[in-house]
Structure 1
């Protein structure tokens, strides 16, 4: 508390003892909705669903509780309740989940000396899309508008590594997404990273990363060390967050009449990124991640599902 607040209550206690700690009558109209009714709205929102819908709306909750829609909206805002929103999740069933989390997060917090840690993955099936009609530009009070339909003009795949130390990116674009292309990308990484450094690659469990061809290449290049993320846990691979930036800033709303145009835009965006790279700061420890997952599982178990 602020020192002035503490001083005020101390003075009131000295003056009238315990009676001085009771709130004085406040000006204005007293609340028309009691705490019990607010509690009822919150509990109903969390534990029940309406008879003819999958979730509550302000209108349906207002009809159920006898309150106005604006009052329901204020209560939901105060308690951070958003019945209209739903998110997705998936729990990994990898039997080596704990070992892989400890391994990968350990690399993020304590990277080996004389080594580079690279998060690698492929963003496959990037489509060169052209809207069927010209885009209407943004105007005051009106967002940019585009047609829902489009023409497909081909696809490409981006192979990329994200350096956890400095945020720089090594990239290649290929029209196909096979072990042969991944091997070419490994050769590019090998040529790019100084020869006196070990290379630790964090990647997912996609089949192209584990073929006999790739295993043979890795055996001939002992400075490469593979670290696999748990199955279904792409969130732990930092390059996935970087892919999100690329998608949001360049691909999602881009218009491309050809694959060549799409690839040129991707190369230009990555070159601009590498001129001012930004590494991500990984804060969670492996223990914190595992404890958070344990709490999540307990919530599911307690729900009886």
Structure 2
């Protein structure tokens, strides 16, 4: 079968696109195979349809070209439900008589007197997902702009002959021990564990992440008071002697105690950069805390706090052998504009 001028490239694009409907991509494959001279039976077998289907789309293309591969208008009664009205009803809170916080497709369908599939179709068309919820936290720090600019500036352009460390503590790490041994992963079966567990106490992990290399200096302590934090700062200073240190940390009260401020004043090579209030996500060590949580803590089973601490230290040793730099990509302006706190100017209008 001969292709019309310019159609081959478009047909190939349809077969490779992830945005077009699967049916349209299949029809394009049928036409391309026919153009290569393949037999109808072979085409049907290779694309997984009947020979009748192959003949249908070959014929449609021969008569109408690429337009013939589109769906024809369907017979039957036209749609009478306005999807905009369905979405408008979805965006209004459910009546108190239902006692629910958000709509389900079945409940809204019953409320509007339509089928739940119609509701689901309207939701897909407008990208409405009532079952989803996300959280956010807006910083009210009066120094938000200055702090974001300061911390992000450290990440994007760190000072020469200095080391940038992200410092924080992960508190209340529970030493949980399952009531029965873990069942290992097998082909066709994931790793399994009991739902119940025994508590054996908690530990606090203090960590300093060197963003240029990903190396972590850490300590496990029973509490997270300013005394433990000061001891950890001294440990970090010993780990990086005779070099300027820039520490990024949040506004936790223990980080601002007079004892901490006195020690910093006595050690002028250590500079502190505070993240904004409710902006601890700017601290890259939080990313690393997520890594250790997923890879070593969440699925672990610990018979004691001592066992928990030993396994945390083992993970850190392994991590430092394979660590990698932590690269920040967003500029301060991009972050502030997203937070809707960037001052506007005439050029922004």
TM-score (norm 1): 0.80
Would you say the 8 A contact 1:159–1:185 is kept in 2?
yes
Q: How big is the shift at 1:64?
A: 4.1
Would you say the 8 A contact 1:130–1:153 is kept in 2?
yes
CA distance 1:212–1:152, change in 2 (3 Å): same
CA distance 1:210–1:42, change in 2 (3 Å): same
CA distance 1:37–1:140, change in 2 (3 Å): farther
Distance in 2 of aligned mates of 1:281 and 1:32: 57
SS at match of 2:264: helix
Residue of structure 2 in register with 1:274 after alignment: 320
Note if 1:48 corresponds to 2:104: no
Distance in 2 of aligned mates of 1:252 and 1:26: 50
SS at match of 1:55: coil
Would you say the 8 A contact 1:129–1:151 is kept in 2?
yes
Deviations 1:172-199 (CA, angstroms, capped at 9, x unpaired): 111121212112211111111141x210
Distance in 1 of aligned mates of 2:79 and 2:326: 47
SS at match of 2:247: strand
Q: How big is the shift at 1:288?
A: 1.0
Deviations 1:104-152 (CA, angstroms, capped at 9, x unpaired): 1111111111111100000111110112344455566665544443211
SS at match of 2:340: helix
CA distance 1:262–1:31, change in 2 (3 Å): farther
Distance in 2 of aligned mates of 1:40 and 1:266: 55
Structure 1 unpaired stretches of 5+: 9-22, 297-305
Would you say the 8 A contact 1:169–1:270 is kept in 2?
yes
CA distance 1:139–1:42, change in 2 (3 Å): farther
- The total of aligned residue pairs comes to 278
State the superposition RMSD in angstroms: 3.0
CA distance 1:73–1:114, change in 2 (3 Å): same
CA distance 1:168–1:76, change in 2 (3 Å): farther
Distance in 1 of aligned mates of 2:262 and 2:148: 26
Distance in 1 of aligned mates of 2:336 and 2:209: 24
Greater relative contact order, per chain length (Cα 8 Å cut-off, separation 6+): 1
Deviations 1:11-66 (CA, angstroms, capped at 9, x unpaired): xxxxxxxxxxxx78843626977597233333333x21322221111212333455
Distance in 2 of aligned mates of 1:35 and 1:230: 52
Distance in 1 of aligned mates of 2:132 and 2:146: 34
Map 1:163-182; keep pairs closer than 5 Å: 163-182=210-229
Q: How big is the shift at 1:82?
A: 2.3
Note if 1:294 corresponds to 2:325: no
Residue of structure 2 in register with 1:39 after alignment: 84
Would you say the 8 A contact 1:119–1:164 is kept in 2?
yes
Note if 1:211 corresponds to 2:248: no
Distance in 1 of aligned mates of 2:124 and 2:142: 40
Residue of structure 2 in register with 1:83 after alignment: 130
